[in-house]
Amino acid sequence: MSDSRDALRNLPPEQLLLLKKRLKEAKEAATGGESLSVLRDDDNLPLSFAQLRIWWMGQLASESTLYNTSDTLYLTGPLDISTLEYSIDKVVHRHEVLRTTFEQINEEPRQRIHERMTVPLSVIDLFHLSPAQHELEIQRTVDALSRQPMDLQHGPLLQLYLLRLGAQSHVFHIVVHHIVTDSMDVFIQDLFRYYEAAMTGQPPALPKLTMQYADFAIRQRQRLTGSRAAALRDYWRARLADAPSLLELPTDLPRPPAKSYQGANYIFTLPPSLTDALKQLSRQTNLTLFATMLTGFQLLLYRYSGQEDFCLGTPISQRFEEELAPLVGLFTNNIVLRCRLDPATRFMELLQQVRVALLDVFGHADLPFEQLVDLVQPRRDLSYTPLFQVMFAMQEVLVSEQIGQIQLSRRMWADSGQAKFDLLLYMWERPEGLTGLFEYSTDLFKEEMLAHMASHFETLLTAIVDDPKQRLDAIPLLTESERHYLLTAQNQTESDCDLSQTVLTHFEEVVRCNPDRLALVSDEEQLTYAQLNSRANQLAWYLRSQGVGPDVVVGVCVERSVEMVVALLGILKAGGAYLPLGVDLPPGRLNAILRDSSAALLLIQQRFAPLLHGMGHRIFCLDSSHSLLDAMDESNVPQESHPANLAYVIYTSGSTGQPKGVMNTQEAILNRLLWMQRRYGLGATDCVLQKTPFTFDVSVWEFFWPLMVGARLALAAPDGHKDPAYLRDVILRHQVSCIHFVPSMLHFFVRQKGVEVCQSLRYVICSGEELPYMSQELFFARFPATELHNLYGPTEAAIDVSSWECQRATEPQRIPIGYPIDNSQLYVLDDRMEPVPSGVSGELYIGGVGLARGYLKRPELTAARFVPNPFGEAGSRLYQTGDLARYRADGALEFLGRRDSQVKLRGLRIELEEIEHTLRQHAAVSAAVVSHALDESGGQLIAYLVARPPHALSPSTLREFLRHKLPEYMIPARFVFMDAFPLTSSGKIDRHHLPLP
């Protein structure tokens, strides 16, 4: 592997002179201007620093083939095998490192150089195969041969194989341990010079070796002392200060707790025309092709990860001195490139930045990577490599060469089945064009991801050569066909459902056809459809008399009960929109919501009247007004509301400290419910359990879906949704066939003793949080015949906009949120509202009829979050969710988390900034940060606080303070008191280094 040495060789003259000057200065600083003499003790030879790292890895996993490297040559022509074996022996004798093994002396690893070591040539006969079978069998064979462990203590660490295909057709396969050499170029060159010389009777044209690799290892240690070593350490300490420890590329699989180093290869070739254009751009900018390709790869990584600051590795050869050039050995040093990209930068500007950075880094490249890791002391994690996880290497590869009567050519690269890093990209030039090989971790990636990445790299490079002055964030990654697929084909969700009606139209039709069918059951009472309709009509007529009509908001503050269902139906029948108010809300928050909503009337139960005392709102007590309601008309109220009118207003957490009301329409909720019926098909014998607090929008479908299709609605007892044992009993009692869980509650439910007796369950619906893989697998272990569905959607888009039917998985994976529901469009976009490729993270935007009207009395916020749809009809909108997502290869969406401070805890949406804002209102709090920590129960909130002198703080004091201002679910479970918060180099709070309680 020539790696970055080729980049140095091809540097423009003035840059090469500068680099040589720096290296000369470095050498003189290390040696005081004197040449270093090498005094060898062959009984106590140290390892080079690179060898030492590999040796330690070998002690941890002696059977690993991670550091096996291989090369494969096709030999066409008359081959004399005995002469080839003679030549092998000569090369092994010429280079000490090829007859070196490694042992421990006084508990320290040392090199042992053998006077003689025979490296056999194993001949494998494939004469019996037809030419059509050769390629497949060759690939299978060289892959298998490359995966044989080597013994560092006994050797040999070079394995040679000859596959005989025919009389004049052979494949020469070389496998060598990386501790011996970083490239087989010198070995191959020397081998065939010996071979050619032996065949012609001439002496081999080889330079005399003035030193061996063991001498280099000794000299390396001598040089890394004194002022030069100190200067190198100072340079790298400054360059990597506050560098991110991880490049977070999108992955197909969750990162495991520890790397397995299992890997695979994916090879691609760029068109010759693009290769020529890239060379032309390099010449125009006075750069090497290596620098151009490296810059393009940095851009690809930025566009895939979204990170503007990350570290990338590249190998550089330390064969700067002529006496090292003819040696076989491990001379490469992995250097770390700090990549900082500004989206507004032009690509031409980035090229020049990379050129300057390369010169600077190459001038300080002689600090061994192993010492760099010790110097920087990055956070150690067994799941990824330190300092960088992605590497780029540009190779100068022998493609074809004539040696006497033998034609040498490379056409195949063995797949070792290993990967040292998350991702490594080799690039080299062939007649067909620039070729790339992705060596990737199969812990993280599937082949489809690498195929996409290769395609996007080609698209990116094509756009760069067409116009290298483009902004980095404007350079396209997608082909036109990909763009059409992501924007249009993925969103073909139009359905022929009639949205000119309302939920009530369907409910009243069920009443007309099946008046005596059981509609509603609770622990205390039950109602038929006719009885429920009559009571809802009586309330509706009363509400009409109080001025309730289209878009008039009516508050409801009741516990889960028959009265709650009657209230919601009655408000809708009157034409109004209901506003759910939790009975556990603090008075201050309740009053703020009521003031903001301008609710015309409040429907309550008598026992909650004190909660609303003194707030100045009109109140109607449902459970103490029976005589008034009994006197009202029981007939259906003529509907005045239309699809565009409001159905309900739900308040969610707000980052400014004030909750915001989301206005959802009749059309939006009807579309959502019609999709649900088409997808799941409830019948007369089905029963849906309503257990979700009605301040959470999942309750909307729990209430109205069964009632609009003639199924039964069963009401859980107040707070019954928190008790798995109670839920098991109520499912059995009412033979519930459909139920909703937030994933954290599902986890507790399926672990409840005896839940497997709930065989009436046909559908279990999850939403509100990310569904963990383990919860899914535990569910199927208990309920193998029940369907589990994972849904996603914000309150601003009528409950849910995507769905996924879960299946038992053979390996841990992220559970998708699936595909868009009817009449909904989902787009994953970058910061410029352009689609990102499949597999790449972007922000999720939602379009379609399910969108809310907006935020009540918040036109600025509505305009900011409900934006014009650049892909739809004029006047259409998109909702900017703030959620990160990506498309899988099969078109399903995966939820990746929030891009802001909003979280979901047990299905309830929480703005962390609102809690921080409230905490800072306490006189004793100087600063506050709130984080969300995941655990088995679904997570908990942790508050970090700095007290304002001379005050002291206690958790109990803060909890009591917050209870007057926030609902219980927004009060942190843990409080951590600190003298000061950790800060980043830019002075911002470093949330990643806040201590765990």
C-alpha–C-alpha distance, residues 23 and 364, integer Å: 8
Residue 608 CA to its chain's centroid (Å)? 46
C-alpha–C-alpha distance, residues 54 and 59, integer Å: 9
C-alpha–C-alpha distance, residues 475 and 456, integer Å: 11
DSSP 302-317: HHHH--SEEEEEEEEE
C-alpha–C-alpha distance, residues 100 and 102, integer Å: 7
Q: What is the pLDDT of residue 756?
A: 92
Q: Which of 37-46, 299-308, 896-905, 954-963 has the lowest mean pLDDT?
A: 896-905
CATH number for the 902-993 domain, one of 3.30.70.60, 3.40.50.620, 3.30.300.30, 3.10.50.40? Answer: 3.30.300.30
pLDDT category, 4, cuts 50, 70, 90?
Answer: very low
Q: What is the pLDDT of residue 987?
A: 46
Q: What is the pLDDT of residue 689?
A: 98
C-alpha–C-alpha distance, residues 189 and 211, integer Å: 18
639: pLDDT strictly greater than 50: yes
Q: Tokens 């259409």 belong to which residue?
A: 876
Mean predicted confidence (pLDDT) in 883-909:
81
912-919 vs 955-963: helix axis angle to the nearest 10?
110
Longest dimension (CA), the chain: 121
Report CA torsion sign: 836, 837, 843, 845: positive
Rg of the chain in Å (alpha carbons): 35
Q: Tokens 């556990």 belong to which residue?
A: 584
Residue type, 244: P
pLDDT category, 675, cuts 50, 70, 90?
Answer: very high
Residue 257 CA to its chain's centroid (Å)? 15
Fold of 5-35+227-397+416-478: Chloramphenicol Acetyltransferase (3.30.559)
290: its two tokens: 């290596």
For residue 98, give the 3-state DSSP assignment.
helix
820: pLDDT strictly greater than 60: yes
Q: CB under 8 Å to 859, separation ≥6 — which residues?
A: none
Residue 484's alpha-carbon distances to 448, 480, 797, in angstroms, are 19, 6, 24
Task: Please state whether beta strands 854-855 and 660-665 pair in parallel, antiparallel, or not at all (unpaired).
Answer: antiparallel
Of 515, 462, 449, whose CA–CA distance to 299 is shortest? 462
Mean predicted confidence (pLDDT) in 748-761:
92
C-alpha–C-alpha distance, residues 699 and 696, integer Å: 6
Query: How many other C-beta atoms lie within 10 A of the C-beta of residue 628?
Result: 12
C-alpha–C-alpha distance, residues 573 and 575, integer Å: 5
Q: What is the pLDDT of residue 751?
A: 86
C-alpha–C-alpha distance, residues 862 and 849, integer Å: 16
17: pLDDT strictly greater than 80: no
Q: What is the pLDDT of residue 759?
A: 94
Residue type, 543: L
Query: Do 597 and 551 meet the contact criterion of CB atoms below 8 Å apart?
Result: no
Query: Do 233 and 30 meet the contact criterion of CB atoms below 8 Å apart?
Result: no
Q: Start-end ranges of CATH 3.30.559.10 in the chain?
A: 49-214
Phi, psi of 319 (to 5 degrees): -85, 50
Of 630, 631, 598, whose CA–CA distance to 616 is shortest? 598
The burial class, CB within 10 Å (0-12 / 13-18 / 19+), for 200 is: exposed
pTM of the model: 0.79
The torsion of the CA quartet 638, 640, 644, 647, rounded to 10 degrees, works out to: -70
C-alpha–C-alpha distance, residues 403 and 75, integer Å: 10
Q: Tokens 């499912």 belong to which residue?
A: 731
DSSP 420-468: SSSEEEEEEEETTEEEEEEEEETTT--HHHHHHHHHHHHHHHHHHHH-T
Q: What is the pLDDT of residues 222-260, one digit of tens each?
A: 888 778 889 999 999 999 998 888 898 988 887 887 889
Q: Start-end ranges of CATH 3.30.300.30 in the chain?
A: 902-993
Task: Please state whether beta strands 158-166 and 121-125 pair in parallel, antiparallel, or not at all (unpaired).
Answer: parallel
For residue 869, give the 3-state DSSP assignment.
coil
Q: Start-end ranges of CATH 3.40.50.980 in the chain?
A: 535-621+631-641
Q: What is the pLDDT of residue 18?
A: 52
Of 681, 679, 699, whose CA–CA distance to 689 is shortest? 699
Mean predicted confidence (pLDDT) in 156-183:
94
Q: What is the pLDDT of residue 383?
A: 83
Query: How many other C-beta atoms lie within 10 A of the C-beta of residue 624?
Result: 13
Q: What is the pLDDT of residue 835?
A: 96
Q: Tokens 């697998």 belong to which residue?
A: 777
Query: Do 762 and 738 meet the contact criterion of CB atoms below 8 Å apart?
Result: yes
pLDDT category, 657, cuts 50, 70, 90?
Answer: low
Alpha helices, H only, 71-115: 81-94
Q: Start-end ranges of CATH 3.30.559.30 in the chain?
A: 5-35+227-397+416-478
In DSSP terms, 788 is beta-bridged to 764
C-alpha–C-alpha distance, residues 579 and 593, integer Å: 9
DSSP 25-51: HHHHHHHTTSPPP----TTSBPPPHHH
Length of the chain counted residue by residue: 997
Q: What is the pLDDT of residue 30?
A: 46
Count CA atoms closer than 13 A to 157's CA, side-chain side: 31
Q: What is the pLDDT of residue 970?
A: 85
292: pLDDT strictly greater than 80: yes
Q: What is the pLDDT of residue 938?
A: 63
- The CATH superfamily assigned to 49-214 is Chloramphenicol acetyltransferase-like domain (3.30.559.10)
Residue 89's alpha-carbon distances to 83, 96, 120, 329, 853, in angstroms, are 10, 12, 9, 17, 81
Q: Which of 299-313, 725-739, 768-782 has the lowest mean pLDDT?
A: 768-782
Residue 934 CA to its chain's centroid (Å)? 17
571: its two tokens: 């408000």
Average pLDDT over all residues of the chain: 89
Report CA torsion sign: 738, 740, 745, 747: positive
DSSP 358-397: HHHHHTTTTS-HHHHHHHH-PPP-TTS-SS-SEEEEEE--
Most confident by average pLDDT, 416-420, 638-642, 711-715? 711-715
Alpha helices, H only, 108-211: 131-145, 185-200
C-alpha–C-alpha distance, residues 460 and 299, integer Å: 9
Of 104, 361, 48, 376, whose CA–CA distance to 224 is shortest? 48
The burial class, CB within 10 Å (0-12 / 13-18 / 19+), for 209 is: middle
Mean predicted confidence (pLDDT) in 326-340:
94
In DSSP terms, 824 is beta-bridged to 848
Q: What is the pLDDT of residues 371-429, one digit of tens each?
A: 999 898 887 778 889 999 999 999 876 667 888 889 988 766 778 888 999 999 999 98
920: pLDDT strictly greater than 70: yes
748: pLDDT strictly greater than 80: yes
For residue 166, give the 3-state DSSP assignment.
strand
Query: Do 712 and 521 meet the contact criterion of CB atoms below 8 Å apart?
Result: yes
Task: Calculate what percentage of the chain has a pLDDT beyond 70.
Answer: 93
What top-level class would CATH report for the domain 535-621+631-641?
alpha beta
Query: Do 872 and 520 meet the contact criterion of CB atoms below 8 Å apart?
Result: no
The burial class, CB within 10 Å (0-12 / 13-18 / 19+), for 469 is: exposed
pLDDT category, 14, cuts 50, 70, 90?
Answer: very low
Query: Do 157 and 176 meet the contact criterion of CB atoms below 8 Å apart?
Result: yes
C-alpha–C-alpha distance, residues 333 and 310, integer Å: 19
Of 100, 229, 244, 92, whose CA–CA distance to 177 is shortest? 100
Report CA torsion sign: 653, 654, 657, 663: negative
